[in-house]
Every structure is written in structure tokens, then in C-alpha cells.
A and B are shown apart, each in its own frame.
Chain A
Amino acid sequence: MELLQLIIGGLANGCIYGLVALGFVMIYKSSEGVNFAQGDMMMLGAFIALGLGNSDQMGLPFAVAVVLAMILMFGISWGVERVVVRQIFGQPQFALVILTIALGFIFRFVAGSIWGYTPLVLETPFAGQNMRTGGIVISLSDLVTIGVTLVLTVALWSFFAFTRIGLAAQAASQNQMAAYIVGVPVMRVNSLIWGLSGAVATVAGVLYATRGAIDPNIGLLGIKAFAAAVIGGLGSLPGALIGGLVIGVIEPIAGRYAPGELAKMSPYIIMLIVLVTRPGGLFSQIHMKKV
């Protein structure tokens, strides 16, 4: 029973890791770049929703606040791509890594100076509502988290697999020059994907905020989500979700049954094992190296 309880809590946690990882994967899929600021975008999204929705701030209804926050974050991420990231178009991957790390610090500073560094709680309609079935307590926020994550993953997967823009984004990452030649507006597609990943990060942030207080440093969760994305194989959306779930479930179980600090290390140990045995992740998409 205890194990089952741990697994359910872990699944919900894993969904949040998976959602942040989805943001990584989207940007990776469209521009082969890695956005290390994804965790901080999640943090910023959660804070914007809090600023709009909490009764002592703007006091908008919860649903309106979340949708507005998503739209705002879409705009912010789109703008960041348009103004900053586009400047280093054509530079090595490494430049983007450092650039986004710096951007993450800037986001953190902005959130810290607006909302302060003391933990705040987002007011949600489903706070404290639990269901009991056979000795297991399932909180409503866990269920919402799992449901929203599943829907979003399927939606994003079909976006990349079936829609025109999704396919264009993949083409842009597979061969930029060729994509240009066949008429894909590579730059505009990149901006759009960045905006979308900002919106997804907001959803992740709001779901994270339903499970506890938030402060500007929760962006460091991004590193764990990163491990999730790598376990699934950067570039595979379902892989990201599964990676997140693996980490989310193993972490509390290791915390309960394994000694000491192993729980904190477990995501990274799993990631290292995956990287060493299957360098491309579980859902590897690299089959051979071309010259």
C-alpha cells in the first residue's frame, strides 16, 4: 500500500518533470539547441499566474489567470527568441547553452525583484481536496497534473507529427539550409516554437505550484527535468514524458528504501547509466554518424 502511494505521488511529480522536459525537447526538435533557461521559464510562468490570480495581487479567476499567464509567457519567450537568441543564429550549440544559462539568471532576478524571495503559495480551486480509495490518498491536484500532462503530450506529439508547422519545425532542425530552400521560414518557426515552449513551461509551473509554495529558485528543477529529457532521448516527446515518470517514481522510492542521499543522486545516476549504455537516450534517434 505504501509503495502504491509512493508511486502515485511519484507519477504526479514525474509528470511535472516530464512537462518541463517537453519544453526542452520542443526547442531541441526545432533548432537542435538546448534551452537551459527552461526551468526558469517554468518559474516565471508560475509567478505570472500567481501575480494575476492570487486575491492579494490582481485577483483574477484561476482559469483566466492561467490562460493569461500562458499567453504572456508565449509572448515573453517569443520575444526572447526574437531579440536575443536569434542574434547567435549560426553559432555553435555551445554558445546557446551559455546564453540560456545567463538568461535563466536574468529571469530569476526579474522574478525575485518583483515577487521577492520568500516562498509564496498559488491559490487554486483544487487545493486540499483528496480522494480515498482503499487506504490510498490521491489528491485532486495529482490527478489534474497527470491528466493535463497526458493531454499536452499527445497534443504536442500530434502537432509535430501531423501539422504543417510541426513538420516545418522538424525540417528546419534536420537541415536548415535545405529547409530554407524549400521555403520553410526557419526563423519564424523557431520563434513560434520558443513561444510554445514558454506556454508549456507555464502549465508546468502552475501544476508545480498546486503542489506547494514557489520561490524564484525552483527553476533549478530544470536540471532534473533535463535528466528526464536525456533519459528519454532529447528529441522524442513521449520519451521526455517517460523519462520524467521514471525519475519521478524512482526518486521517492529511493528516498524511502535506499540509504541516505541516494534519492537526491538517483536521477543523475540513472541518467549517467542511460548515457553510457545508450548515448542517444532510450528513444534514440541517431542511427549513424554522417560525415
Chain B
Amino acid sequence: MRVVFKTSYDPDIDLHEHGHSRAKIAILLAVMVALPFLVNDYYLAEAANTLIWSLAGMGLMVAVGHTGQVSLGHAAFLAIGAYADSALMSAGAPFWVSFPLAGLITGIFGALIAIPAVRMSGIYLAIATLAVFVIVEELVIILEPITGGVGGIMAPSITFFGLSFDRYGALENFYWLCLAVVALVTWGYANLLRSPTGRSFLAVRDSEVSARALGINVTRTRALAFGLSSGVTGLAGALMGHYIGFFNYELFSIFVSINLLLVVTIGGLGFIQGAFLGAFLITAVPQIIAIMRDNLVSVGIDLSGVPGLDTMIFSLILVGFIIYEPTGLYGRWLKIRTWFEIFPLARRDMFRRQKSYLKTERMR
């Protein structure tokens, strides 16, 4: 167990509690930067995919994990980001203009939706986002000149100062681009959480009434959080469009929204690290299933004739997590770490969940 000796108030809000954790992040970042030299193209492409999913997961985490606004329609924001970026690039804007603009457009769209939607709470917001998702999906089909309709469009390839960032032509560069975006967003996100704005997000999540009593403008805070959330998801969507290369509206189905929810719940609600762990799981599990399937064939069990097995396994994992570990992978890791840190003193009830008894606001 490490004892941190504080001599001023500053360390209380520091991003890292001590140099040790700062060093760990630095090592992780160094390994990620060096990854193209360590693994082959197949794993590098998977790593880029994982980074994009963690970016989208961070976007949803702002809304679900830190402000307590459940969204079932974040695939819509992925779609808006991807189409905005492609459309701007086709119109001739360079990537460094179109990419932030795509995020901005998505963020503004998200905030505009959020202003009426945040008046609703809990379940109603989830439903409203679902409705927005369906409407956006149909709009994508209607707005054929921009989106290519049902046929889909080709994401233009990225060039920066003469350097190619094409996903197929120069995978290393594309990977580094994703890594840079993810690192920047993570850094900003972590810093946001220790700012007054970030603290007000948490306050709104934990108790709307007490947040209001403390002078927080709840509507504004929730709209801001939702806008930020959709903006970051829009950035992820833009990268996803470039990663896939050729896409139509089917890339952003309702299942993508649900996968995103899976990322944040399995990863760990309310932890930035959770978005990464969840994204890793969601990109790794299909591969593991494929490998296991091949191995099972060699011992005489053929599962290739069973469609939908992947979704089934995902669903079972999700049910298991919701019931047995609602704090997700990161929460489990925290528990294990604490157990070792305070070794003989850990007790079973240290992380006991609090049950709440339902009280409705309905009159009948």
C-alpha cells in the first residue's frame, strides 16, 4: 500500500496521484506507439479498430457513465460523424479541417436533440434516443446526394502534408492517427472530469435534486454532456468510416448502438479505463470465437452452421456481467487490486452494492 504525503492542496486534483501511475501511462503509450514495429498488419488493423471503438465508447461513457443519461441511439451519431466527414472531404476540405468539423457538427446535432430530451429522465431519454436513431437511419437513405443512399459511399483516403494515411495503403500511419486522436481525447476527458464542469456531470448523475440545490443548471449541464458525448462519438464515426473504407447505412445499425452500450457496461460504467477494456473485449471476442470454432472443427464439432452464435455469446456475457459484476471489468480489477494492496485486511462486504427500493412518481 502506497502512502501519498500531500503538502499542498494541488495534489488533491492532480490527474495522477503519484509519479508511479504517471510512469505506467507513459509506458503504455510508448508500447502503443511502438506497436506497428511489434506486430503484423492483421493485428495492427485490429488494434486500430479497438482504438476506434474505445473512442466511441468514451463518447458514450460521458453520457451513460458520467451523467447518467442512457442512450440507445449512439449509432446515429457515429453515422452523422462518418457521413459529415466523408461529405466534407469529397467537397474538397482537407482531413484536418473535415475531421474536427465532423465532430463539431455531430456535437451540435446531439446538443440540439438533447435540449428537449433532457427534460425527460431515465427511461424516456433512452426511448427518445432510440427514436432519433431510427429517424437518422431513414434520413441517411433519403439524403442520397450526400450519403449515397442504400448503395453507400467510399470514404476518401486521408492525405496530410503529402503523407498518406490510407487505411490500406499506409496502415501504420492510419494507426498512429487513431492513436493520436484517442490519446488526445482521453487526456481531455480525464482533465474534464477534474474541472468544475466534469464535477457537475457527476453531481447531476448522482442526484439531480441536490445538484440543482447546489446551483448547477441541470438542463444546461445535461445538454452539454450529451453534446460532448455525441461529438466524441462523431469523431469515432469519422474514423470508423475511413477504417471500413466503403460503407452504407447498414454499418450503423441498432446492433452497433447496443454493442456500444455493451462496451461501456462490460468495461465499467463511470471509468474512462472501462471504455478501453470494453472496446478490447468487443473486438477480441469475435476473433476468439472464430479461433475456437476452427479448433472445435478439428475435434469434430462443427458450429459454422449455427448462425447468430456470436450475438448469443455476447448476450450471455452481458447478462452475466449485469447480474454478477455491474461495475464491469474495471470494477472487478479495482476489487482485485484493493485485495492485494491491503492484503490481510480485505473483507467481503467492502464493495457491497447498495440496494434501493423503488418509489414512483406516478399518482395512479
Is B142 on the interface with A (CB-CB < 8 A)? yes
Q: Of B31-39, B221-229, B233-241, B351-359, which stretch is located at the interface?
A: B351-359
* Complex interface residues of chain B between 112 and 159 (CB less than 8 A to chain A): 116-117, 119-120, 122-124, 126-128, 130-132, 134-135, 138, 141-142
* Complex interface residues of chain B between 180 and 215 (CB less than 8 A to chain A): 209
Name the CB-closest residue of B to A220. B254
With most chain A CB atoms within 10 A of its CB, the pick from B122, B209, B307, B322 is B322
Contacts of A226 in B (CB 8 A): 127, 130
Task: Give the Cβ gap from B303 to chain A, nearest Cβ, in Å.
Answer: 11
Is A290 on the interface with B (CB-CB < 8 A)? yes
Task: Give the Cβ gap from A41 to chain B, nearest Cβ, in Å.
Answer: 15
Name the CB-closest residue of A to B128. A275
Is B311 on the interface with A (CB-CB < 8 A)? yes
Is A94 on the interface with B (CB-CB < 8 A)? yes
A105 and B314 form a contact (CB under 8 A): yes
Is A112 on the interface with B (CB-CB < 8 A)? yes
Contacts of A173 in B (CB 8 A): 358, 360, 362
Q: Of A42-50, A70-78, A81-89, A131-139, which stretch is located at the interface?
A: A81-89
- A176 to B130 CA separation, bound complex (whole angstroms): 29
* Complex interface residues of chain A between 259 and 289 (CB less than 8 A to chain B): 260-261, 264-265, 268-269, 271-272, 275-276, 279, 285-289
- A177 to B117 CA separation, bound complex (whole angstroms): 31
Whether A109 contacts B124 in the complex (CB less than 8 A), given A103-B319, A174-B362, A289-B361, comes out as no
Is B347 on the interface with A (CB-CB < 8 A)? no
Task: Give the Cβ gap from B314 to chain A, nearest Cβ, in Å.
Answer: 7
Contact with B along A216-245 (1 / 0, CB 8 A): 000010010011001000110000000000
Task: Give the Cβ gap from A156 to chain B, nearest Cβ, in Å.
Answer: 15
Contacts of B362 in A (CB 8 A): 173-174, 235, 285-286
Is B345 on the interface with A (CB-CB < 8 A)? no
A223 and B322 form a contact (CB under 8 A): no
B134 and A290 form a contact (CB under 8 A): no
Is B2 on the interface with A (CB-CB < 8 A)? no
Is A3 on the interface with B (CB-CB < 8 A)? no
Is A95 on the interface with B (CB-CB < 8 A)? yes
Option from B119, B126, B309 in Cβ contact (under 8 Å) with A97 = B126
Main secondary structure of the interface of B (DSSP, over half): helix
* Complex interface residues of chain B between 300 and 323 (CB less than 8 A to chain A): 306-309, 311-312, 314-316, 318-319, 322-323
Option from A94, A271, A290 in Cβ contact (under 8 Å) with B361 = A290
B357 and A275 form a contact (CB under 8 A): no
Whether A264 contacts B312 in the complex (CB less than 8 A), given A98-B322, A175-B358, A271-B127, comes out as no
User: For chain B, which range describes its interface: under 10, 10 to 19, 20 to 34, or 35 or more residues?
Assistant: 35 or more
Is B98 on the interface with A (CB-CB < 8 A)? no
Contacts of B364 in A (CB 8 A): 170, 235, 285
A105 and B127 form a contact (CB under 8 A): no
- A95 to B127 CA separation, bound complex (whole angstroms): 15
Whether A175 contacts B360 in the complex (CB less than 8 A), given A112-B307, A279-B119, comes out as yes
B134 and A105 form a contact (CB under 8 A): no
Is B326 on the interface with A (CB-CB < 8 A)? yes
Is B261 on the interface with A (CB-CB < 8 A)? yes
Contact with A along B55-71 (1 / 0, CB 8 A): 00000000010000010
Contacts of A272 in B (CB 8 A): 128, 131-132, 135
Is A93 on the interface with B (CB-CB < 8 A)? yes
Name the CB-closest residue of A to B364. A285
B131 and A268 form a contact (CB under 8 A): yes
Contacts of A57 in B (CB 8 A): none
- A175 to B359 CA separation, bound complex (whole angstroms): 4
B123 and A176 form a contact (CB under 8 A): no
* Complex interface residues of chain B between 309 and 344 (CB less than 8 A to chain A): 309, 311-312, 314-316, 318-319, 322-323, 326
B123 and A34 form a contact (CB under 8 A): yes
Is B4 on the interface with A (CB-CB < 8 A)? no
Name the CB-closest residue of A to B140. A261
Name the CB-closest residue of A to B361. A286
- A136 to B363 CA separation, bound complex (whole angstroms): 44
A230 and B315 form a contact (CB under 8 A): no
With most chain B CB atoms within 10 A of its CB, the pick from A94, A226, A276, A287 is A94
A223 and B134 form a contact (CB under 8 A): yes
Name the CB-closest residue of A to B319. A102
Contacts of B322 in A (CB 8 A): 88, 95, 98-99, 102
Task: Give the Cβ gap from B203 to chain A, nearest Cβ, in Å.
Answer: 15
A112 and B123 form a contact (CB under 8 A): no
B141 and A261 form a contact (CB under 8 A): yes
A264 and B315 form a contact (CB under 8 A): no
Is B290 on the interface with A (CB-CB < 8 A)? no
* Complex interface residues of chain A between 21 and 49 (CB less than 8 A to chain B): 31-32, 34
Is A90 on the interface with B (CB-CB < 8 A)? yes
Name the CB-closest residue of A to B133. A268
Option from B131, B312, B353, B360 in Cβ contact (under 8 Å) with A106 = B312
- A87 to B258 CA separation, bound complex (whole angstroms): 22
B358 and A97 form a contact (CB under 8 A): no
* Complex interface residues of chain A between 112 and 135 (CB less than 8 A to chain B): 112-113, 117
Residues of B within 8 A of A (CB): 64, 70, 72, 116-117, 119-120, 122-124, 126-128, 130-132, 134-135, 138, 141-142, 209, 254, 258, 261-262, 265, 306-309, 311-312, 314-316, 318-319, 322-323, 326, 353, 355-364
Could you give 6 example pairs across A and B, Cβ below 8 Å?
A103-B319, A105-B311, A109-B309, A220-B254, A271-B128, A286-B362
